[in-house]
Amino acid sequence: MKLKKLARWATAALIGVATTTSLTVSAETATLRVSIEGGAFNSKFKFFDASAGCPGYNDIPGAKDYLGSVFASDKGADKAVSVGQPVQVFLFRPKETFSISAAGGEKEIRRRSLQVVLSGDATLRYTGFDDKVPTWEASGEIEVEPAAACENDEDPEVDEGSETDEDASSGEPEA
């Protein structure tokens, strides 16, 4: 009898922990629905974590910044994204691989990508291209900017010695 009570208690505890964990996870993510007008044969939307600045675009599973991909279609696909964290979305079209490499690799991917920050569920729909850069419509709880915005987040090198000299010369003259 005591063994049955212990088993019921353990089961109830596991259910409680699982419920609490799932509620915590769902509160920290939102759904981004991505689509492309007219569809795109054999293409994918790839997602990269930009919370630490400009990501590397290594897209093998387990790569540091790679968050995964979904197939591009007119109907759209959902991707769970962390709320409040910048994520770059890149539309990978295999037929453009050579032109991306020839135009500068990571910088060209960044030029063709978007950086999004979700505060809730949102949609992002590519509607066309202008100089190989996708144009889009966004709706829902989303902030969208060009992916090159991550370059502005990185600290530029500053010659601190020159600032100190200017500050010292603007004060009162020494006695």
Per-residue CA distances from 146 to 54, 57, 116, 157 (Å): 12, 16, 9, 23
Global confidence as pTM: 0.68
Q: What is the pLDDT of residues 42-62, one digit of tens each?
A: 889 999 999 989 998 888 888
Tokens of 108: 């060209």
What confidence tens digit (pLDDT) does each residue in 89-100 have?
Answer: 988 887 676 666
* pLDDT confidence band for 5 (50 / 70 / 90): low
